[in-house]
Structure 1
Amino acid sequence: MIVFKSLKINSTDDVELGIKRKSKLEFKLSYDDEKEIEAILVLIQGTGDDANNSFLKIIMQSLAKKYNAAIISPNYFGIHNRPQTGAKPYFDELDKKIMYELCESLNIALDEEIFQTNSPEKILEKLNIHIAYKKSKGDLKQDYAAIMHCSLDPLNDEYQNWGIMPAMDIINAILHLKKNPPFKTGGGSLRVVVSGGSYGGYLALMCAKIAPWLIDGVIDNSGSGLFSWRMIGFGKELDFKTYCGCGARIGDVHFLLSDKTFWTLDAHSAYFFSQSRSDIRYILNPTHLETLAKFNHIIFVSYHSKNDTFLAPYTEKVELFELLKKLKFDAHLHLIQDESEIDGKFIKNLEHGLGIPFKALINKEFPPLLEKIKKQKKKSREKSVSYTCYDLIYHFSEKNHKMKLEIEYYDR
């Protein structure tokens, strides 16, 4: 019988920012209780999706029925960061400043009370009415549109950490399942394959980076090699019109949206996003890849479009796989270069993500990947890895079946 359930466990606090976590980690699990399970397959959702949707449940159950694998999908920290997954818009202090400056330029009266007594949507509706009135009087050109900014508050009192806490959540879900398997394993070691698309693909690569002793294989579709100023939340400190996460429109008001985050570019803040914070999130870091090569049993498979030059530039993926091969990893990149490779079923377009269905990706790549993994003689290694960044050293380790992160200053 196919089992599908939701589990909640304690996971990691924010070690980088010293913030105590308030939420539990929830993840979905599906398996066939009549089979001996030989692998854990992780499906990592990208931005705008979570593990609560009914379509993903169908995919997980289908895969559990087809393979001798336990299928999990974690609602990692900050995943509910879009309106469709429950995030709510609000004005932070920088958003208010942007609003004040716009209203001053339009000679529209604005005071703090309006933020206290109206929702962001209502405020933007009122602004749209003012703009329509000014257009009717000829004070504004008919093609004028105001550009505003709001922040998005995710569910569960979470925020955008980007990369590190989400990857540690995914690893903690795997470790919990390995320690407490509710299914038969036949006494063998459970192999682990992580997979995802876009940000989910990036997180799959990050999981391999921070827990290489645990991860056996990575299936990635269009994951980026670095963090995104647009998606990390504080890009608006540079330019809110360029570095927003998403946007919408109410009449003549375009409102751009960014994730709630504590990271900042203020070098005097305890939450300063320093060079080291960037370095640890950079998958292509050559020195870090050399460290990772001590665990070069990991097998990497990736798909990417040559037309993907904005969301996740394909040049980064090409560089990554060249470095992986140089370091003796089994790594294969499917770089889709032109329309002749579009078959309408698996590869549907040349846009970011290639239109590849998640289920089809797994069905194509998981069976041969698992066979390769099973033939490997995995060396026993210490369950820890350390990465030296600009002025910090990140120590990741597995202790008592949980991920642990310790950070120390590096004397340059």
Structure 2
Amino acid sequence: MTDVVIAGGGPAGRALARACARRGLETILVDPAPGRRWRATYGLFADELPALPGSAVACAPSTTLAFGTRPHVLDRQYLVLNNDGLRRWLDRGYDVVAGTVAGVDHGGQGSSVRLEDGRTLATGLYVDASGARPRGVRYEQTAFGAVLPAEDALRLVDAPDTAVFMDWREAESGFLYVLPLGDGTVLVEETSLARRPGLPTDVLAARLRARLSAVGLTSRGREERVRIVLDVPVPRRGRTVPFGAAGALVHPATGYSVATSIRLAEPVADAVAQTWDRGPAAAASAAHRALWPSSARAVHGLRRHGLRALCGMPPELVPVFFDRFFTLPIAHQRAFTSGREDISGTTEAMSALFRLSPWPVRKHLIGWRALRRSR
């Protein structure tokens, strides 16, 4: 019997597999396509993952800007990840099985993981890191991106080696990312604010092509389609441990999850290893507790509250709202975007943003809260 079986070969699954293997747990990762390269572009703030090796970084832009109705320089180092380097860092100490999980049967002494091809893996602990599959229609963030030569991107940004984290100018209920990739190319991505359901990527593709055409550019390189499920509730405790996007580790307001998943892999593996002698059920319960202490549950609820309030905001107020957010002290910005267990920092950031907002934005937030309470 294998100690741990993890379904899902993305960054979250591989980070947890590496962390479990480092603690002496025999670990198998089930990946539908082990040889397939990661095509998504991942980014994070350097202070979210200080242990990240340089080999996993594709680009560290010298300047990161955000635009509401005007520019704001972000006083946090933003990193674009090198997917091959990230994967090499995470691919250590565990075995990989090509396949897809069809079902799991839990018993008193362990679990039986059934693959679609008929094979069965016996394990003490089963982790689902295969991505979000929420029931019903959820809030989604969608995006369509194109990779351009860096010299072309200078028609969209004022200087090379500049990342645009969010640009609401010329927005139509959406914003633009401009991310240098460190290889002489730049990802330009049209992104929709969260909707239920998400805006179709074909609509975003048309918007991006129109935006590029307005400055004399055409999309002729690699393209990227993104769909992120945002509004996932905290999972119930059980013998299966959901992790990564499957475990609601996606930030409900920003859509970011990679840094959180990689950082949490270590404490979750610690919790499993420390309770392993007490049996599979105890190890699963310990993993759930490591992932979702009461402080993390409270912050997740606040973030989901913020998501719903923002999604109901009139489009003309959204850039104004983000103008105020990016004028907050950097500690408040960091607390809301990265402070997963920071209840006081998150509430202070949300309160400060309300106080700074002009009356039309406050009126919407007050009205939305009253509407929620009346239901």
Same fold per TM (> 0.5)? no
Of the two, which has the highest radius of gyration? 1
More helix as a share of residues:
2
Larger relative contact order (CA 8 Å, sep ≥ 6) = 2
Class of the TM-score when normalised by the shorter of the 2 chains: under 0.3
Taking structure 2 as the reference length, the TM-score comes to 0.26
Taking structure 1 as the reference length, the TM-score comes to 0.24
